[in-house]
Amino acid sequence: MTPLIIDTDPGVDDAFAIALACASPEVDLLGVTTVFGNVGLAMTTRNALRLLALYGREDVPVAAGADRPLVFPHPHRARYVHGQDGLSGLSDSLPERATGLANTDAVSLLASLLDRAAQPVTIVPIGPLTNIALLLAVHPSLTGKIARIVIMGGAMNGGNVTAGAEFNVWSDPEAARRVLAEEEVPTVLVPMDLTVRCAVDTSWLDRLAASGERGRTLVSLTSVYREHYRKSLGRDGTVLHDAVAMAEAISPGLLKTSPMPLDVECGQGAGRGMIIADRRSTAAREESGVRRGRTVDVALDAELDTVREFMLERLSS
Ligand code: RIB
Ligand code: CA
């Protein structure tokens, strides 16, 4: 079993990631924490509860976390991608969860779950990294209880929310830099360069919808999202960014990663939120005076159809 905690801003692709975790027998879903992002915190939290109710997971504790970035205001949400309620206007169509929020905040829940865990835990942040930055800054003694952090975020060659930045990192660059550059916890970054290549088509979505009630419901949440990607990709493709990262968290090695030092642009200029990946050799880095050895495993490639089939097979179960 893989003990796992999801930090999320649902979000249509977050919905598929949460569903993938719920539908995977090897996952021991310890908890879900929510963060601002695609929509505001109240809505991401409401959506997380309802998505867990859809999968009958009354047992999974949910706690709300940051409703804003660490340092500067959140310039804007992503309602144009996910709909006003974060789920293509269909959040109300999902079942209410009888079990409400845990009586604590996200960072406290993350810390208590890690502290109590019998074995190191995989944390899967699929929204802005504010909660994770706070966890690592407030509870450094718990880093030994983290098996690895598998993050959906970043862009290596062209962004989505700006020319150079991906939404999760851009939403709180200071938090992203804390996690990606300053900490030593084993970390996988799944950037949008690869998640876009893993886009699914109408046939894939039709197969999921035909698989049963839950598949049909998930696909029903995609209307606004699919229209966004039809326009932005100019083809029949829907990018399930967060589900691709979740697939790697569930099946380590599904994605092909390369270790490299990362930094995050935290200035206020046009490059804010951009990832700076150092692809030089270790020798070249050392010659130029770089001493820190912190690297992040960046997912740059995969067998794309294998990833798509993994997701479909699990979500259809
Ligand atoms: O850029 C894509 C990421 O930003 C995904 O996690 C999506 O849900 C949004 O949060
Ligand atoms: Ca997300």
CATH number of the domain to which 281 belongs: 3.90.245.10
Q: Is 35 helix (H, G, I), strand (E, B) or coil?
A: coil
Nearest atom, ligand 1, residue 160 CA: 1
Residue with CA closest to ligand 1 atom 10: 127
What is the spatial distance between Cα 90 and Cα 218, in angstroms, rounded to a whole number? Answer: 10
Q: How far is CA 252 from CA 57, 153, 154, in A?
A: 24, 17, 20
By most ligand atoms within 8 Å of CB, the mutation choice from 126, 151, 221, 244 for ligand 1 is 126
> How remote is the CA of residue 207 from the centroid of ligand 1, in Å?
24
4-13, 28-37, 285-294: least confidently modelled range: 285-294
Q: Where are the beta strands (DSSP E) in the chain?
A: 2-8, 27-34, 62-64, 121-125, 146-152, 187-190, 255-260, 262-264, 275-277, 296-302
Please give the number of the atom of ligand 1 that sits closest to the Cα of 168: 4
Across 146-161, average pLDDT: 98
CB of residue 265 inside a 6 A radius of ligand 1: no
Does residue 291 surpass a pLDDT of 70? no
Q: What residues pair up with 188 in beta bridges, in sequence order?
A: 150, 297
**Mean pLDDT, rounded, for 122-151:** 98
Residue closest via CA to ligand 1's atom 2 equals 167
CB 183 within 8 A of CB 223: no
Instruction: Return the structure tokens found at 21.
Output: 């975790």
Mean pLDDT across the stretch 97-122?
A: 98
Task: Write down the pTM of the prediction.
Answer: 0.98
pLDDT tens by residue, 236-250: 999 999 999 999 999
Cα 127 to averaged position of ligand 1 atoms, centre (Å):
6
Check if the beta carbon of residue 123 is closer than 8 Å to that of residue 32.
no
Average pLDDT score over the chain? 97
- Ligand 1 atom closest to the Cα of residue 195 is 2
Residue 317 — very low, low, confident or very high, per pLDDT cuts 50/70/90? confident
Can you give the pLDDT at residue 286? 87
Q: Does the structure show a pLDDT above 80 at 290?
A: no
Q: Which ligand number lies closest to the CA of residue 13?
A: 1
Q: Is 241 a catalytic residue?
A: yes
Asked if 279 and 260 touch (Cβ cutoff 8 Å), the reply is yes
Please give the residue range of the domain that contains residue 67. 2-315
Annotated catalytic residue, options 76, 82, 139, 241: 241
Q: Tokens 């109300």, residue? A: 92
Q: Which residue has the tokens 């200071």?
A: 174
For the chain, helix, strand, coil in percent to 5 are: 40, 15, 40
Give the number of domains in the chain.
Answer: 1
Instruction: Say how many Å lie between the CA of residue 13 and the centre of ligand 1.
Output: 7
